[in-house]
Amino acid sequence: MRRASVSKAPLITPASTIAEVWQHPLGNDVLATILRQLGRSPAWVTNPFVSSIRLRSLPRLSFGRVSEAFVETIVRMLNNHRDIPARVVAEAPAQWWQSAVFYQIYPRSFMDSDGDGVGDIPGIISKLDYLQDLGVDALWLSPIYDSPNDDNGYDIRDYREIMREFGTMADVERLIDELHARGMRLVMDLVVNHTSDEHEWFQRALADAESPYRDYYFFREGATAPNNWTSFFSGSAWRRFDEEWALHLFSSKQMDLNWDHEPMRREVHDMVRWWLGKGVDGFRLDVINYISKDPGLPEGDPLIGALMGYTGVEHYFAGPHLHEYLHEMRTEAFDPFEAVSIGETPGVGSNLGKLLTSPDRGELDMIFSFDHLETPGHTRFDDYHYDLGYLRDWWQNWQLDYGATCWPTLFFENHDNPRMISKINPDPALRVALGKLLAVIQLTLRGTPFIYQGQELGLVNVAFTSIDQLRDVESINLYRELRASGESDTAVFAKVLAGSRDHSRTPMPWDSSPHGGFTTGTPWLDGDGDFANVNVADASVDPSSVLNAYRELIALRRTHRALTLGGIRFLPAATGLWCWERERDGERIRIEVNLTDAPISVPVVSGSHLFASGENGGRLGAYGARVTLVS
């Protein structure tokens, strides 16, 4: 269903002012991103002087650092997204995924059943009782399709085949049945911004100049790369093939699909329907906001490139046909199966987020935005201490602003990020307290929690000591790029280590036996032996473990609907404390968390304690938390 009349933001022109851009939904998101990257406050653009500047004056006022082309890009981009997010949409009936707890599995590292050192589907099936006992309602599996594994399955060779190392289609069918028998659901990863260069479509396109598959990708001729866009995994986003070039925003084996070509979109819809027909309950859609590229593939702005770390993003992170293609896929493939769709949308702010997930627009159900994962001015590869005060402000604003119409996701970790505990405070003495604090925050705010495998144990980063131990294409390419620019091995390795995705990709520690009980063979990526300290078997029988805190909190969500579907209200609190209440059906639950490593006094709340960590009389210890059913 699509609303008949949509209110539109005024057209932006070069004569528009910064104030008008700030008023524009996407303009507001873009300016907020720029400010965050620069570590500046909104006052930097909302002050009377700056807000009255016209876009067309920016090149002159910036002495040419802001180009004319950039002004044109901004104007074009904002005019492509003029819909104003509705403030309140008539309350839609509650959906199963709103009160569900999701658990993300990185199949390669979860459980190996056959001793080849690689996790597999039968391994996952063997751990379903553990997940059910934890209280998980739905699994999201990172890709399990046939792939040459240049990016661990995010480079798909055949969407309808299973990666041989992971098992067979019969195994997947058994997994679906086993999950459904337990009342659990399965969400798969849908990677359709790109395919592997080994996908049949790309191979046929390369082999035959007349092939209908040539329009499935971005091929361009020329002596030099068609534009200055950079890949997220280092270097140019263009790969040379004889006389021509093909676009890859990620690794040189992940070729971008051309979504402007309708037959390609139809094949994607067909494939999605095929999987949903097998009983899959929905998809997590990989970098789905990148699918619509500015058709002219214009040069990326160097200033934005320097600011964001990648050149060209402004031409595809919110492309001209994004809403249209998502709505079409939703109608054609998702709606007939009532399947859930969770978009992975890097760089998307709350206004665009609302347009993408407002229930009346029929695009996506939820999105993953990543802006809360680094504090302003930092990137993943900076070694710094994450400030939980930023998380509080960011999530609080997002919950209030966005929560009225749309449904948020709640997550700290996934397979692309180091462990959150390590980012905040790597002191081993605080690991358990921090693990529980994150659990309380994630399981009691409004939204759907996505727990990443091992997070429920309070896992921390891995003490890798050499680049030879890393397997991730992003880490390896970055290492090579920085080494080639002349930096020392020590400096480069330290940088790569700060942000490496391999921290979260080491095998799941099941017990204290060799390799944590993950495999009887040699793991494809080895950890640092921490499984001897933290593993599922030991944590299960330790009443004070992070794992048991997750179990208790998830169980509370089942007993108290206020924690899932209830409204949310933030309360004023002492410095360092964060406090909110959830309310529904006459039940009011107060959550108080200490965001610092020093104890804080908290007044006693009358009611019954549902959960406490680090609480001692009227004090909450370092990173302590308390959940009270207020009487």
Bridge partners (DSSP) listed for residue 194:
256
Task: Show the binding pattern over residues 353-392: x = contacts ligand ISL (CB under 6 A), - = does not.
Answer: -----------------x----------------------
Q: Could you say whether residue 472 binds ligand ISL (CB under 6 A)? A: no
Q: How far is the CB of 123 from ligand ISL (least distance, A)?
A: 20
CB closer to ligand ISL out of 154 and 229: 154
The span from the first CA to the last CA of the chain, in angstroms, equals: 42
Residue from 155, 344, 456, 472 carrying the catalytic annotation: 344
CB closer to ligand ISL out of 22 and 370: 370
Q: How far is the CB of 309 from ligand ISL (least distance, A)?
A: 7
Total binding residues toward ligand ISL, as defined by CB under 6 A = 12
Q: Are 278 and 176 in contact (CB under 8 A)?
A: yes
Q: How far is the CB of 500 from ligand ISL (least distance, A)?
A: 12
Q: How far is the CB of 250 from ligand ISL (least distance, A)?
A: 4
Residue from 150, 151, 286, 456 carrying the catalytic annotation: 286
Q: Could you say whether residue 250 binds ligand ISL (CB under 6 A)? A: yes
Task: Show the binding pattern over residues 259-298: x = contacts ligand ISL (CB under 6 A), - = does not.
Answer: ---------------------------xx-----------
Q: How far is the CB of 381 from ligand ISL (least distance, A)?
A: 9
Q: Could you say whether residue 120 binds ligand ISL (CB under 6 A)? A: no
* Interaction residues for ligand ISL, span 170-199 (CB under 6 A): 191
Cα Rg, the chain, nearest whole Å: 24
Residues 6+ apart with CB under 8 A from 110: 119, 123, 124, 127, 453, 508, 518
CB closer to ligand ISL out of 104 and 448: 104
In angstroms, rounded to a whole number, what is the distance separating the alpha carbons of residues 27 and 77?
Answer: 9
CB closer to ligand ISL out of 418 and 435: 418
Would residue 344 show up in a list of annotated catalytic residues for this protein?
yes
In angstroms, rounded to a whole number, what is the distance separating the alpha carbons of residues 466 and 526?
Answer: 12
Tell me the three state secondary structure of residue 563: helix
CB closer to ligand ISL out of 216 and 232: 232
Bridge partners (DSSP) listed for residue 601:
619
CB closer to ligand ISL out of 233 and 275: 233
Beta strands, E only, 44-184: 102-105, 138-141, 145-146, 158-162
Q: Among 59, 235, 346, 362, which residue sits at the site for ligand ISL (rule: CB under 6 A)?
A: 346
Strands 567-571 and 577-584: antiparallel
Q: How far is the CB of 147 from ligand ISL (least distance, A)?
A: 11
CB closer to ligand ISL out of 120 and 416: 416
Q: Among 232, 411, 578, 580, which residue sits at the site for ligand ISL (rule: CB under 6 A)?
A: 232
**Could you please report the per-residue DSSP string of 15-73?**
T-BHHHHHHSHHHHHHHHHHHHHHT--THHHHSHHHHT-BGGGHHHHTTTSS-HHHHHH
Count CA atoms closer than 13 A to 123's CA, side-chain side.
Answer: 27
How many angstroms from the chain centroid is the CA of residue 393? 19
**Could you please report the per-residue DSSP string of 297-366?**
-PPPPHHHHHHHSSSSGGGTTT-TTHHHHHHHHIIIIIGGGT-EEEEE-TT--HHHHHHHH-GGG-S-SE
Which residue, among 23, 25, 34, has the nearest Cα to 66 in the 3D structure? 34
Dihedral angle over CA of 145, 149, 151, 155, nearest 10: -50
* Interaction residues for ligand ISL, span 403-462 (CB under 6 A): 415-416
CB closer to ligand ISL out of 254 and 461: 254
Shortest-Cβ-distance residue relative to ligand ISL: 154
Q: How far is the CB of 405 from ligand ISL (least distance, A)?
A: 25
Residues 6+ apart with CB under 8 A from 244: 219, 220, 221, 222
Order of all β-strands in the sheet with 185-190: 366-368, 340-344, 282-285, 185-190, 138-141, 102-105, 448-452, 409-410
Beta strands, E only, 392-459: 409-410, 448-452
Would residue 413 show up in a list of annotated catalytic residues for this protein?
no
In angstroms, rounded to a whole number, what is the distance separating the alpha carbons of residues 188 and 285?
Answer: 9
For the record, the structure tokens of 468 come out as: 């030879």
CB closer to ligand ISL out of 112 and 151: 151
Q: How far is the CB of 370 from ligand ISL (least distance, A)?
A: 6
Tell me the three state secondary structure of residue 256: strand
Q: Among 154, 217, 464, 493, which residue sits at the site for ligand ISL (rule: CB under 6 A)?
A: 154
Q: How far is the CB of 346 from ligand ISL (least distance, A)?
A: 4
**Binding region for ligand ISL (CB under 6 A):** 151, 154, 191, 232, 250, 286-287, 344, 346, 370, 415-416
Catalytic residues: 286, 344
